[in-house]
Amino acid sequence: DADVTQTPRNRITKTGKRIMLECSQTKGHDRMYWYRQDPGLGLRLIYYSFDVKDINKGEISDGYSVSRQAQAKFSLSLESAIPNQTALYFCATSDPNDPAGELFFGEGSRLTVL
């Protein structure tokens, strides 16, 4: 089983619908992140969390919200989806005890908003 699991892997929805992307991890890391990937733009940070009570905005948080339900679970919501939120979304984790540690990514959730 993957260490970082994202559901759904693919989703097509319509403008105005509420969408939730879920992420769970078995690495035991406190830190979790949501990134968005767009062609030619690389990955941009939406939100990150250090623990259940610590949620922080990233560089492109407008239109998104998150919930950290447990150490292992971090969900991203689009309250009212719009077409320019069509993208590939990645969840990632990192070990706060390793100051030079890499991020561990899930397989991604491809969202299409019509």
Partner 1 sequence: AQSVAQPEDQVNVAEGNPLTVKCTYSVSGNPYLFWYVQYPNRGLQFLLKYITGDNLVKGSYGFEAEFNKSQTSFHLKKPSALVSDSALYFCAVRDISNTGKLIFGQGTTLQVKP
Q: Which residues bind partner 1 (CB under 8 A)?
A: 4, 31, 33, 35, 40-45, 48, 50, 56, 58, 90, 92, 94, 96, 99-108
- What minimum distance in Å lies between the beta carbon of 33 and partner 1? 6
- What minimum distance in Å lies between the beta carbon of 91 and partner 1? 9
Please say which residue, 17 or 49, places its beta carbon nearer to partner 1.
49
Please say which residue, 49 or 85, places its beta carbon nearer to partner 1.
49
- Cα 102 to Cα 24, 31, 93, 99: the distances in Å are 18, 12, 9, 9
Please say which residue, 63 or 108, places its beta carbon nearer to partner 1.
108
Please say which residue, 3 or 73, places its beta carbon nearer to partner 1.
3
| Cα(7)–Cα(26) distance, integer angstroms | 15
> Are 94 and 27 a contacting pair, CB within 8 Å?
no
- What minimum distance in Å lies between the beta carbon of 81 and partner 1? 22
Place of tokens 């908003």: 113
